[in-house]
Structure 1
Amino acid sequence: MNVPYLSRTETGADFFIEVYLDFVNERIRIDDYRGNINSVITRMKALAAQYSFTKEIIKSRVEDWPKFLSRGYELEGMINGYFNGSDAFFMVNYASDDRRTSDCWKAEDDLLDKIVAQKDAAQPNQLPTGYSMRLANVEDCKDLANLYGLVFQTYPTPMNEPSYIKDVMEEGTIFKMIEWNGQVVSAASAEVNETYHNAEMTDCATLLEHRKYGFMQLLISALEDELISRNIYFSYSLARAQSYGMNACLQKLGYLYSGRLANNCIMNDNFENMNIWVKKLV
């Protein structure tokens, strides 16, 4: 495939699915579904085999996750309130032992223990002199793409392409960014799901030389305020399980750890595990 991903809906004789085909990360994800669970699973497996994907993910409703479990799927985590206040369960299946196995799981558990044991909440940081924060718009896409290209060697989505950022903005994703001397030095986004009234905090990046100020706490807090003003009250984030800083940031902001997705996406040329963090905003 020449495209990094493809998102579409499919309707069968007794099912409906919203499916995300991720060619970069060799996975299929079903974000929404209705109808016969066995038919949903059959179609998901057929698509995974067609494109040689090694991981299947479905966001299951609370009443359905035991049905996926009975078909060999594993529960890797959950998002509180995802479906308009009802929880979503990440049910997954793997096509290979290599994709299922992680050599750093215990080390990531130990890191998580240290983070969760910390009881200090986020401090009300102020922007240092010379820095400013604001909502981004389509005119900022090139500068945002430059930031992501500098911070990430590889990333699950093509955030180093201005056209991609423009597309997700037009689809409803909100970006907050921090500037210094006319340069975007830090940014984060909230990918809003208008149907189910939740948002994913994602695309968090800060240039190395500006990381001492704790900008991500400021950006995420500002995005939370923006979400509340738009009547979005549930947020979640997927953080690299090996990243002390990002996981600690989310914990300080009141997010709760809710599972880990094994070998979920490619970050800096390798598959990495991603921790799930969830928060009810009001």
Structure 2
Amino acid sequence: MIEVNRRDFSALCIQDSFNKRLRIEDYRGNISSMIYYIKRELNKHQLEKVIIKSRYEQVQSWLQHGYRLEATIPSYFNGSTAYLMTFYESQERQVHNHYAKENNLLQKVQLLPLKCPETLLSPYKLRKAIKSDAKQLVTLYKTVFTIYPSPLHDLVYVQSMLEDGTPFFIVEYEEKIVSAAAAEINTLYNNAELTDCATLPSHRSLGLMKHLMVEIERELKKKYVYCVYTIARALSFGVNAAFHQLGYAYSGRLINNCLISTALENMNVWSKDLSTLTSES
């Protein structure tokens, strides 16, 4: 995260060279000056896409400068909605690959009934990950993802996540990690992104990810984090179905958002308000 402070604006930015994008996580001040800064950064670092988390009051200003709204995250800013405004420096980057196919998949997903996971069957075991799990987690992510937007193939990186207290949960089968997921908490705005979801192919269709999500939600509620969101591969029926059936609401799609496996992929945005859950949930 880079903190940018200028005379008439300030911003928190992530320069993501791997995915050739610039993410503006927060900002305040003069939008025209920010746009000049963004344009310069795009050219300087050969980036192709900008994603800005905007408040409602500035949406019209971004639209007037050629940005477009791709998704929203309700309650992101301590109860206020975040509007994900995007701009493309590259014509090719904004082409909608598989958009109709993704819409058809989404419609099928949204027809599914809401459904809580059933009891986790033996010999599967769910628990919170610890530092000694890092090596197995790296193996899991290398097996599931040839390429991934964050460095989950790096043992030191995964160890640091576990040391920092990132809510990370795993499912084991015969003492081998077969499924995992985590949550990145934003302590300033009290929200969390569910991320790093992976299940070995031989253990899919068993609802393991649903069990992980429910456990992470419980952990987040203990920390008084109520806004939870995630981005899911738009062509993955299983992942999108899992979030829909757990009560997450679809709120948009980020085009050619990040490299996963072998290519840039469109990502669906899902969110949920944990404050509406009962204390027993």
Q: Could you tell me the TM-score, scaled by structure 1's length?
A: 0.95
- 1:130 CA drift (Å): 1.4
Alpha-carbon contact 2:129-2:162 (below 8 Å) kept: no
Q: Is the 8 A contact 2:74 2:271 kept in 1?
A: yes
Residue in structure 2 matched with residue 185 of structure 1 by the alignment: 178
Aligned to 1:3: none
Deviations 1:133-182 (A, max 9, x none): 11112222221111111111111111111211233344552101011222
1:186 positional shift: 0.4
Q: Which residue of 1 aligns with 2:279?
A: none
Q: Could you tell me which of 206, 209, 219 is aligned with 1:216?
A: 209
1:45 equivalent in structure 2: 39
Aligned to 2:236: 243
Q: Aligned partner of 2:109: which letter?
A: I
- Does 1:263 find its partner at 2:256? yes
What 5-or-longer segments of structure 2 have no aligned partner?
A: 276-281
Instruction: Indicate how the Cα distance of structure 1 residues 43 and 169 shifts in structure 2: closer, same or farther if over 3 A, else same.
Output: farther
Q: CA 1:59 to 1:171, structure 2 compared with 1: closer, same or farther past 3 Å?
A: farther
Instruction: Classify the secondary structure of the residue corresponding to 2:268.
Output: strand
Residue aligning to 2:4: 10
Alignment of 1:103-182 (within 5 A): 103-118=97-112, 120-182=113-175
> What does residue 4 of structure 1 align with?
none
Match of 2:226 in 1: 233
Supply the distance in 2 between the matched residues of 1:212 and 1:111 (Cα, whole angstroms). Answer: 17
Contact 1:172 1:191 in 2 (8 A): no
Between the aligned partners of 2:116 and 2:272, the Cα distance in structure 1 is 18
Amino acid paired to 2:249:
L
> Which is further off, 150-159 or 135-144?
135-144
Counterpart CA distance in 1 for 2:240 and 2:212 is 15
Higher mean displacement: 158-167 or 252-261? 158-167
Matched residues in 1 for 2:227 and 2:165: separation?
A: 16
Q: Give, as a single letter, the amino acid of the residue that structure 1 aligns with 2:110.
A: V
Taking structure 2 as the reference length, the TM-score comes to: 0.95
Higher mean alpha-carbon deviation, 67-76 vs 176-185, is at 176-185
Distance 1:49 1:145 in 2: 34
Offset at residue 196 of structure 1 (A): 0.5
CA RMSD of aligned residues (A): 1.1
Aligned length: 275
Distance 1:169-1:68 versus aligned 2 partners, 3 A rule = farther
| Secondary structure, aligned partner of 2:204 | helix
Structure 2 counterpart SS, 1:196: coil
Equivalent position to 1:64, from 58, 61, 76:
58
Structure 1 runs, 4 residues or longer, greater than 2 Å off: 166-173
* 2:16 maps to 1:19: no
Percent identity, aligned pairs only?
42
Q: 1:83-115 CA distances to partner (integer Å, 9 max, x unpaired)?
A: 111100000000111100023111111111111
Aligned to 1:280: 273
Q: Deviations over 1:36-93 (max 9, x none)?
A: 1112222122111111101011100111111111100000000001111110000000
